[in-house]
Amino acid sequence: MAAIETLGLEKTYHTGFWRKKAKCALKPLHLTVKQGEIFGFLGPNGAGKTTTLKLLMGLVYPTAGSARILDLPIDDPAVKAQIGFLPEQPYFYDYLTAKELLHYYAQLSAVPAKERSLRVETVLAQVGLADAANLQLRKFSKGMLQRVGIAQAILHRPKVLFFDEPMSGLDPVGRREVRDLMEQLKQNGQTVFFSTHILSDAEALCDHIAVIHEGELRGIGAVADLTSSVEGKVELVWQGNVLPSSLRALGAECHITGETVRAVVLEANQDLAIDAIRRERLRIISVTPVRTSLEEYFVRKVQPSQAVAGGKS
Amino acid sequence: MSARIAYIASNTFREAVRDRVLYNLVAFVLLLSGAAILVGQLSIGIERLVVINLGLAAVSIFGVVIAIFIGIGLVSKEIDRRTLYTVLSRPVRRWEFIVGKFLGLAGTLVVNTSFMAIGVFAALFYVTHRFEQADGWIFVALYFIVLQFLVITALALLFSAFSTPVESAVFAFLIFVIGSFAQDLRGFAAMTQGATRWLATGAAYLVPNFSSLNVISSVAHQQPVAGTLILSNTVYALFYAGTALCGAVLIFEHRNLK
Amino acid sequence: MSPSRRSTATATVLLAVFLSSSMLVLRQVDRMRRSTPLQEVLFLTSPKLLKRLSLGYDGLLACVYWTRVVQYFGSKHFAGAREYALLAPLLEITTALDPHLIVAYEFGANFLAPPPPGGAGEPEQAIALTEFGIRNNPEEWRLYYDLGFVYYMDLHDYKNAAHAFARGAQVPNAHPWLKLMAALMAEHAGEIQTSRMLWTTTYQTTSDRNIRANAAAHLRALQVDEDVTNLEALVSSYRQRTEHWPAAFSDLEAAGMLRGLPSDPLGQPYKLCGEGRVEVTDPDDLPFIQKGTPAGYVPPLKPRFLPTD
């Protein structure tokens, strides 16, 4: 059973005074997410990531197509008990304290009354807000609100989690913590579906990713496959500022920086290159296979219509 | 199901209670009750009339203001600020949300009315130095005022489901004004003919009838209120509020949230 | 000075200057407009319109207009007015807004009907107002009483007065004297005793301060008229007996015709003037008297209602 499955999920908005102008926010989307994996939904701003999430949450109704979560149609109320949602730049009732808010959510998610207080405390500690439990939400910083958002999503231990830009507003420490949390969720057997335009996070966390641009799915696949080495290159780093002539003959690309030299050669020529360096009695620091970065894949996928998109993070 | 509605209602109540505006309005009404004592002294012989008329009118008007002021934001504010997203991603049906919000605000208004009514009774006691049995009819007048609030709240909620706060406020206020003329409107409709008559009659019955819910003047003269009127007003208010709520649910159920 | 402090100083000074100037200009404007007293203007005259505008809070608006009625009449009366043009419209509005405000009908009967300066001099309006009150409050005996009163006092229409009193006598909890008054109309209309009975009833049953003061003044006037009539009759008979006018009341006392020196209801002694005329010491204090005033006396424009006793 797939965690998430969409079949031709489509959304067109009608804008303008007489609602004549049609704006297609999402072209028919076919997507499958396996249970227990972390799935990254990548795309530049305005690509349709949030629209997809809103469709899956039932906040917006599809123009065509359908979707299933844990093999239940998304309009089945039973689905909601199994999912958790963190919206983009969340905003909560600012007249409540963090504890009151989570209590309210726990009530709505039918967490048993006896367990509520304990669960709320645990979750607050998990996101690092134990000290701010009794502070009114209107006094929270953006980063703190993001943490509260994550807390309310995981509160009822749902099987599938949906995060929209979970890292936004967080400092590097916070981002690391969220990454660790997502790993933890995966270890618990929970599925995580998150959208982002920060590729390094996706590369580090995801099992599978999809790239979406201008409402259209441009690419989908396992991260390992997409970034595996296609051309088979190897990078050599050694100490010194001498470049053996034989290496130049191998057609290596070289950079000399201070006391180290970097050179990239074909994998086939790896042993020859190492021998050449050792003959000069130079100290080798590292030998690393070169992989296509996710960034390159991404840029390629969004290339045709937009030149300057994916690179920025 | 009912538990979720109760949770939403109590959260709405909590939100209203923590809103400073509420306290200002309640304090204002209490102030007016005190002022009624002074005004009564200007017109000797009718202090009782002035205290009851002014006190109940203040309860009524300020309650309507609170109902509209808070009611128009009940749904639209949640959509604008997107606080609704994390609520609707939980096992909460959209209609439960609407009903819960309504009950929360209705509860707030009942509590407010009680406080304001204490002010009115205190002023009355100060002026007349004793309560008579006929003063009991004031409770009926207050009950009718609460019924009025239920209708207005349901309407404000209906408007909130599809328009901006400013538009909702204008609509709700206009309906309150027209509703006070509802009886005249029906009379006017009876005098016209043809298409105008259909339109006028339609409008007259569509608009809430607030004129029969206002018994302040007769209660001030210690006149009794007929039991049949109490019963029919209760039923009417419940049906009308129910209509508006169903409308709100229908609109909200099919709305794409931004 | 730094730019910020400069702008603060300038703004403060300008604020003070503008505020005081606007206040001075306003005073000038007030002085120019003093000729039109605000009291005389009634912007909204239609009772039906006002009832609609009240949005159901008509009882409250009626209280407001009632206050205005009392202030209008009171202030004009003490300024010595000779007409009360707005009294009838204001009362009409008040009673249209709240038909159960009995005191408004009472006020109309007592102050719309009598001639100026004591009233507006519009008895027909008073009758119409009271009949409207009776239609809306058929169980209020006081309204029938007021109706009969106006017919009797101001229109001298004794037949209709009797009719009104008779209607009132049939109302449950009616004042016991109504039946009696209906009967009196037939034989003793126009007599001082009947008038006295009516004014006494008004004095005892009204809750309005102004009406009570008015009734007290009328009762005092009736007393004076009666006293002066009796005293002048005594003086005449003295003259017949002794062929000359008495010099003072002490003469009458000596002749055994009087016991003690006579004084008016306010405690001031009566004066015995030439040709057997009896006068009151201070006619200004006793409005409504028909007798006992010096020749050529004109009652002041500002009649005094002395406090009720």
Mutate to test the interface with B, among A92, A108, A123 (most CBs of B within 10 A): A108
Contact B85 A95 (CB under 8 A): no
Q: Beta strands A160-164 and A83-86: pairing type?
A: parallel
Percentage of residues of chain B with pLDDT beyond 90: 40
Nearest neighbour of B214 by CB, restricted to C56, C67, C101: C56
Residue at token pair 């007249």: A95
What's the average model confidence in pLDDT over B246-252? 94
Q: Render pLDDT for A115-134 as a digit per residue (tens, 0 to 9).
A: 999 999 999 999 989 998 99
Q: Render pLDDT for B148-184 as a digit per residue (tens, 0 to 9).
A: 999 999 999 999 888 888 999 999 999 998 888 888 8
Q: Evaluate whether A269 touches A277 at the Cβ level (below 8 Å).
A: no
C264 within a domain of the structure (yes/no): yes
- Work out how many domains chain A is built from and give that number: 2
**Bigger pLDDT: A299 vs A250:** A299
Q: Beta strands A233-239 and A260-266: pairing type?
A: antiparallel
Tell me how close the Cα of C91 comes to any Cα of chain B, in angstroms.
Answer: 15
Q: Render pLDDT for C91-128 as a digit per residue (tens, 0 to 9).
A: 999 999 999 999 999 999 999 998 887 888 899 999 99
Tell me how close the Cα of B213 comes to any Cα of chain A, in angstroms.
Answer: 35
Question: Are A87 and A194 within one domain?
Answer: yes
For residue A22, the model assigns a pLDDT of: 85
Partners of C212 on chain B (C-beta within 8 Å) are: none
What's the average model confidence in pLDDT over C255-276? 84
Contact B43 C101 (CB under 8 A): no
Question: How confident is residue A247, by pLDDT bands cut at 50, 70 and 90?
Answer: confident
Contact A92 B86 (CB under 8 A): yes
Contacting subunits of A (3+ beta carbon pairs below 8 A):
B
Tell me how close the Cα of B210 comes to any Cα of chain A, in angstroms.
Answer: 34
Residues 6+ away with beta carbon under 8 Å from A303: none
Contact B88 A59 (CB under 8 A): yes
Tell me how close the Cα of B25 comes to any Cα of chain A, in angstroms.
Answer: 19
For residue B44, the model assigns a pLDDT of: 62
**Phi and psi (nearest 5°) for A76?**
-80, 125
Task: Extract the tokens encoding A184.
Answer: 């933890």
Query: How far is it, in rounded angstroms, from Cα B51 to Cα B141?
Result: 14
Percentage of residues of chain A with pLDDT beyond 70: 94
**What is the arrangement of strands in the sheet containing A38-42, beginning at the earlier edge strand?**
A83-86, A160-164, A191-196, A38-42, A208-213, A216-222
Task: Extract the tokens encoding A44.
Answer: 């530049």
Query: How far is it, in rounded angstroms, from Cα B79 to Cα B73?
Result: 9
Q: What is the DSSP string of C154-192?
A: TT--HHHHHHHHHHHHTSTT--THHHHHHHHHHHHTT-H
Mutate to test the interface with C, among B49, B178, B212 (most CBs of C within 10 A): B49
Q: Evaluate whether B56 touches A62 at the Cβ level (below 8 Å).
A: no
Q: Tally the residues of chain B.
A: 258
Q: Determine contact: B42 vs chain C, CB below 8 A.
A: yes
Quick check: A309 pLDDT over 50? no
Quick check: A213 pLDDT over 70? yes
User: What is the C-alpha R_g of chain C?
Assistant: 27
Residue at token pair 């010595």: C80
Nearest neighbour of C66 by CB, restricted to B46, B177, B214: B46
A106 within a domain of the structure (yes/no): yes
For residue A311, the model assigns a pLDDT of: 42
The winner for highest mean pLDDT among A155-159, A292-296, B19-23 is A155-159
| Amino acid at site A78 | A
The average confidence (pLDDT) of chain A is: 86
**Bigger pLDDT: A1 vs C308:** A1
Partners of B217 on chain C (C-beta within 8 Å) are: 58-59, 62, 98, 100
Contact A90 B85 (CB under 8 A): yes
Question: How confident is residue C147, by pLDDT bands cut at 50, 70 and 90?
Answer: very high
Quick check: A308 pLDDT over 50? no
For residue A313, the model assigns a pLDDT of: 38
For residue B15, the model assigns a pLDDT of: 87
C277 within a domain of the structure (yes/no): yes
Q: Evaluate whether A233 touches A265 at the Cβ level (below 8 Å).
A: yes
Question: Are A100 and A197 within one domain?
Answer: yes
For residue A310, the model assigns a pLDDT of: 45
For residue C12, the model assigns a pLDDT of: 94
pTM here is: 0.80
Where are the extended beta strands (E) located within chain A? 4-15, 21-33, 38-42, 64-69, 72-73, 83-86, 160-164, 191-196, 208-213, 216-222, 233-239, 253-257, 260-266, 284-290
Query: What is the CA angle A88-A91-A92, rounded to 5?
Result: 135
For residue A158, the model assigns a pLDDT of: 95
Tell me how close the Cα of B72 comes to any Cα of chain A, in angstroms.
Answer: 17
Q: Render pLDDT for C194-212 as a digit per residue (tens, 0 to 9).
A: 888 888 888 888 878 888 8
The domain spanning residue A123 has which CATH number? 3.40.50.300
Contact A80 B256 (CB under 8 A): no
For residue A107, the model assigns a pLDDT of: 94
Question: How confident is residue B43, by pLDDT bands cut at 50, 70 and 90?
Answer: low
User: What is the C-alpha R_g of chain B?
Assistant: 20
What's the average model confidence in pLDDT over C269-284? 84
Q: Evaluate whether B210 touches C56 at the Cβ level (below 8 Å).
A: yes
* A and C in touch (3+ CB pairs within 8 angstroms): no
What is the domain extent for residue A151? Answer: 4-223
Question: Are A182 and A268 within one domain?
Answer: no
Query: How far is it, in rounded angstroms, from Cα B253 to Cα A77?
Result: 14
Q: Hey, how many other C-beta atoms are within 10 angstroms of the C-beta on A88?
A: 18
C68 within a domain of the structure (yes/no): yes
Residue at token pair 């604020």: C15
- Work out how many domains chain C is built from and give that number: 2
Q: Beta strands A260-266 and A253-257: pairing type?
A: antiparallel
Task: Extract the tokens encoding C217.
Answer: 């003044």
Q: Render pLDDT for A137-176 as a digit per residue (tens, 0 to 9).
A: 999 988 899 999 999 999 999 999 999 999 887 888 888 8
Quick check: A44 pLDDT over 80? yes
What's the average model confidence in pLDDT over B55-67? 90
Domain definitions of chain B by residue range: 2-253
**Bigger pLDDT: A55 vs C42:** A55
Question: Are A78 and A155 within one domain?
Answer: yes
Task: Extract the tokens encoding B134.
Answer: 């006929």
What's the average model confidence in pLDDT over A199-207? 87
Q: What is the DSSP string of C224-292?
A: HHHHHHHHHHHHHHHHHHHSS--SSHHHHHHTTS-SS--B-TTSPBPEEEGGGEEE-S-GGGSTT--SS
A82 within a domain of the structure (yes/no): yes
The average confidence (pLDDT) of chain C is: 85
Query: How far is it, in rounded angstroms, from Cα C227 to Cα C192?
Result: 12
Question: Are A237 and A91 within one domain?
Answer: no
Question: How confident is residue C136, by pLDDT bands cut at 50, 70 and 90?
Answer: very high
Quick check: B31 pLDDT over 90? no
Mutate to test the interface with C, among B39, B46, B177 (most CBs of C within 10 A): B46
Q: Determine contact: B147 vs chain C, CB below 8 A.
A: no
Partners of B50 on chain C (C-beta within 8 Å) are: 63
Q: Hey, how many other C-beta atoms are within 10 angstroms of the C-beta on C294?
A: 11
Query: How far is it, in rounded angstroms, from Cα B14 to Cα B101?
Result: 11
What's the average model confidence in pLDDT over C241-268? 84
The domain spanning residue A248 has which CATH number? 3.30.70.3400
What's the average model confidence in pLDDT over C119-141? 92
The average confidence (pLDDT) of chain B is: 87
What's the average model confidence in pLDDT over A96-111? 93
Residues 6+ away with beta carbon under 8 Å from A263: A235, A236, A243, A247, A252, A253, A254, A255, A273
Contact B177 C55 (CB under 8 A): yes
Q: Beta strands C271-273 and A83-86: pairing type?
A: unpaired
Query: How far is it, in rounded angstroms, from Cα C147 to Cα C169?
Result: 13
CA A305 distance to own-chain centroid:
23
Q: Which of A166, A196, A223 is the last residue of a domain?
A: A223
Partners of C52 on chain B (C-beta within 8 Å) are: 181, 184
Instruction: Show contacts of C165-172: CB within 8 Å, 24+ apart.
Output: C168/C141, C168/C143, C168/C144, C169/C141, C171/C138, C171/C139, C171/C140, C171/C141, C171/C144, C172/C139
What's the average model confidence in pLDDT over B65-87? 87
Number of H helices, E strands in chain B: 12, 0
Percentage of residues of chain A with pLDDT beyond 90: 42
C10 within a domain of the structure (yes/no): no
For residue A85, the model assigns a pLDDT of: 95
| Amino acid at site C159 | K
Q: What is the three-class DSSP state of A91?
A: coil
Q: Determine contact: C99 vs chain B, CB below 8 A.
A: no
Residue of chain C whose Cα is closest to the Cα of B223: C100
Question: How confident is residue C75, by pLDDT bands cut at 50, 70 and 90?
Answer: confident
Q: Render pLDDT for A131-147 as a digit per residue (tens, 0 to 9).
A: 989 999 999 988 899 99
Query: How far is it, in rounded angstroms, from Cα A254 to Cα A248?
Result: 8
User: What is the C-alpha R_g of chain A?
Assistant: 24
Quick check: C66 pLDDT over 50? yes
Q: Can you say whether residue B90 is alpha, beta or left, with left for phi > 0 and alpha for psi between -120 and 50 degrees?
A: beta
Quick check: B88 pLDDT over 80? yes
What's the average model confidence in pLDDT over B239-255? 94
Question: Are A165 and A275 within one domain?
Answer: no
Quick check: C18 pLDDT over 90? yes
Q: Determine contact: C52 vs chain B, CB below 8 A.
A: yes
* C and B in touch (3+ CB pairs within 8 angstroms): yes
For residue A200, the model assigns a pLDDT of: 84
For residue A312, the model assigns a pLDDT of: 41
Contact A92 B15 (CB under 8 A): no
| Amino acid at site A267 | E
For residue A231, the model assigns a pLDDT of: 63
Residue of chain B whose Cα is closest to the Cα of C210: B44
Contact B89 A80 (CB under 8 A): yes
Residue of chain C whose Cα is closest to the Cα of B179: C55
C153 within a domain of the structure (yes/no): no
Contact B216 C60 (CB under 8 A): yes
What is the domain extent for residue C245? Answer: 231-285
For residue B247, the model assigns a pLDDT of: 95
Mutate to test the interface with A, among B84, B89, B252 (most CBs of A within 10 A): B89
What's the average model confidence in pLDDT over C274-293? 84
| Amino acid at site A165 | E
Nearest neighbour of B53 by CB, restricted to C55, C59, C208: C59
Partners of B11 on chain A (C-beta within 8 Å) are: 93, 104
Task: Extract the tokens encoding A179.
Answer: 């990454």
What's the average model confidence in pLDDT over C33-44? 62
Quick check: A307 pLDDT over 50? no
CA A194 vs CA A33, A39, A178, A179, A200: distances in Å = 11, 6, 12, 12, 14
**ipTM for the assembly:** 0.85
Nearest neighbour of A59 by CB, restricted to B83, B254, B257: B257
